[in-house]
Chains A and B, each alone.
Chain A
Amino acid sequence: MDGIVVEGLRKRYGAVQALDGVGFRVHAGELFGLLGPNGAGKSTTVKVLATLTTPDAGRAEVAGHDVVAEANAVRRAIGYVPQSSGVDRDATGRENLMLQGRIQDVGGRALEARVGELLDLLGLTDAAERVVRGYSGGMKRRLDVALGLVHRPQVLFLDEPTTGLDPEARASMWEELERLAEGEALTILLTTHYMEEADQLADRLAIVSLGRVVVEGTPEELKRSLRGEAVEVELSDGRAADAEGVVAALEDVLEASSEGRKLRSRVASGARAIPSILSALEARGIGVEAVTSHRPSLDDVYLHYTGREFAAEDEAGAREDDSAAER
């Protein structure tokens, strides 16, 4: 059975086409990653799936219920951990959890037991009676996750659960999430703009760009779909376009692209290609600063399928988000 089915979702906010035909399937019990830069449409997708907003076109099912026609059934079946924490900062951790449980129709002894269990599971027992205002960023985020789990949902949405956390808190959140994915019979949809996060946590993932899914598969499949190795050459001057032409023409090189002073190429074998790349560049008088080669990462997958570099796009997306927020 499928935990989540998404088909051709479209959603427009003013001049921005946030979703432009997003579609994917998440099997029940799976941890599925939605990976993409800021502004790619990940959060909007989750908002549609969590029934906060309705799509302009397309349809989606969560735990077997249509998100528009059976919104209340979906709401009972899901836990939603929004990108920005929605906890009541003036209440204690336990009060937050108890209220969340009550509006999800869990009550009495069962609720008290469940809240105790979650506080334990997420390492918040000692902080349970303290007002959330005094929690650290990591604790607040763990409480957010607990809030999403109070009523034992079938599907959990985690919208950028580790954004804004320091590396240590992020690592511990990853551990919690891995345990959750194993322990509870739960379908998890996680959005992230961290490549490592998707790589480490997701059973399968979809890369989203400009409101569309560009590719879907397990992290291994996606990386394997790129044969060979990635070679990155940093040029000492700005003749990247020249360099791209030169390198792309080489026999050992499968594909090449350039951005700024960076020349990226995919090669069958680094050991064979690097010497020929360097000598070809030298022959044209193009100076080289540094050369690195590595097995394909999700970064390379992203570059391959979208033709754009992830980090640059992420920054551009972040700027767009900021200006959208100001409006």
Chain B
Amino acid sequence: MTIAVRHTWFMVGRQLRNLMREPIWIALLLVQPMVWLLLYGQLFKRVTNLPGGGFGTSSYITFLAPAIVIMNSFFGATWSGMAMISDLDRDVLPRFLATPVSRISLVVSQIVRSALIAVVQGVIILVVSLALGVRVHTGLFGWVVILAAAALMNSAFAGLSQGIALLVRKEATMIAIANFIGLPLFFLSSTLISIRQVPHWMQIAAKFNPVNWGVIAARQVVLRGTEWGSVGLHLALLFGLSVATAAFATWTFRAYQRTI
């Protein structure tokens, strides 16, 4: 176990070093969430006045900001398998596999790297939100909860993305699948609008949508009337899903090894 942790640390270090060599990427990846936050947030500013309500605040940007942290983390996760495909294409994995390196660390390090980036981006989005007047009702602990939700959301889907990458092993297929999973789950959540405003069938679907679990947990700590039980439940659900998808990714890694 300790070896697996140590090797995961080495592998995460490798990926972060490469990323830090071109830190511009972290900034570029933030363009999309900023567009949602700054432009979409302004465009639909008055949406909180809709009859039926359910927003829990009159400030749309306050409603939106925590969900954008989750959205960013979710989309980042769906793409995280691309790094695995790049390693596969360049035969980096066979070189590692001829060493005593912990097999599990090769998969888990990809998930940890992806989640760490999501947390860093989450902090940036929250700081920008703060400047825009968004106040997290539960204070600093609320920030921690939002970032924890972002990390769990990311791990859950990064595990899935790694598993898919190891199964399809082709960039083009990976892109198609990421889009196929990403957009529907995004729109079937309460990221952009109060769940009370959407058709009934979508309300039901959202209950089973992990993206919505993350949005609920993150938004609860921002708005007044936080229900901690619900926050805990949804974080636990995300944690369970993370464990399951990490297991799936490990299983696909064994399948990949058999093809060598």
Contacts and interface: CB of A to CB of B under 8 A. Distances in A.
A and B are interacting partners: yes
Interface stretch (B71-79, B94-102, B114-122): B94-102
Interface string A84-97: 11111111000100
B113 to A, nearest CB: 13
Interface in A50-76: 50-53, 72, 75-76
A82 B94 contact: yes
Contacts of B200: none
A319 to B, nearest CB: 22
Contacts of A15: none
A13 to B, nearest CB: 9
A186 B91 CA distance: 25
Contacts of A87: 90, 92, 95
B90 A89 contact: yes
B18 interface: yes
A85 B91 contact: yes
A105 interface: yes
A52 B94 contact: yes
A95 B17 contact: yes
A125 interface: no
B254 interface: no
Interface string B3-15: 0000100100110
A86 B91 CA distance: 5
Contacts of A47: 260
Contacts of A91: 14, 17-18
A99 interface: yes
Contacts of B257: 52
A84 B98 contact: no
A80 B90 contact: no
A104 B100 contact: yes
Given A53-B260, A95-B14, A131-B21, A105 B91 contact: no
A51 B10 CA distance: 22
B98 A50 contact: yes
Contacts of B90: 84-89
Tier of interface size on chain A: 20 to 34
Residue from B96, B99, B258 having most chain A Cβ neighbours under 10 A: B99
A52 B98 contact: yes
Contacts of A78: 98
A149 to B, nearest CB: 13
Contacts of B100: 72, 75-76, 103-105
Nearest to A86: B95
A51 B14 contact: no
A12 interface: no
B108 to A, nearest CB: 14
Contacts of A88: 14, 18, 90, 92
B52 to A, nearest CB: 51
B231 to A, nearest CB: 39
A91 B21 CA distance: 9
A82 B95 contact: yes
Contacts of A103: 7, 10, 96, 99-101
A103 B96 CA distance: 9
A51 B101 contact: no
A147 interface: yes
A72 B90 CA distance: 24
A105 B13 CA distance: 16
Contacts of A52: 94, 97-98, 257, 260
Given A103-B96, A103-B101, A90 B91 contact: no
Interface in B219-251: none
Interface of B: 7, 10, 13-14, 17-18, 21, 90-101, 257-258, 260
Interface of A: 47, 50-53, 72, 75-76, 78, 80, 82, 84-91, 95, 99-100, 102-105, 131, 147
Q: Which 6 A-B pairs have the closest CB atoms?
A: A86-B95, A80-B98, A90-B18, A103-B101, A50-B98, A75-B100
Given A51-B97, A52-B260, A86-B95, 16 more contacts: A52-B97, A53-B260, A75-B98, A75-B99, A82-B91, A86-B90, A86-B93, A87-B92, A87-B95, A88-B90, A95-B14, A99-B14, A100-B95, A103-B100, A104-B100, A131-B21
8 contacts: A50-B98, A52-B257, A53-B260, A85-B91, A86-B92, A86-B96, A91-B14, A91-B18
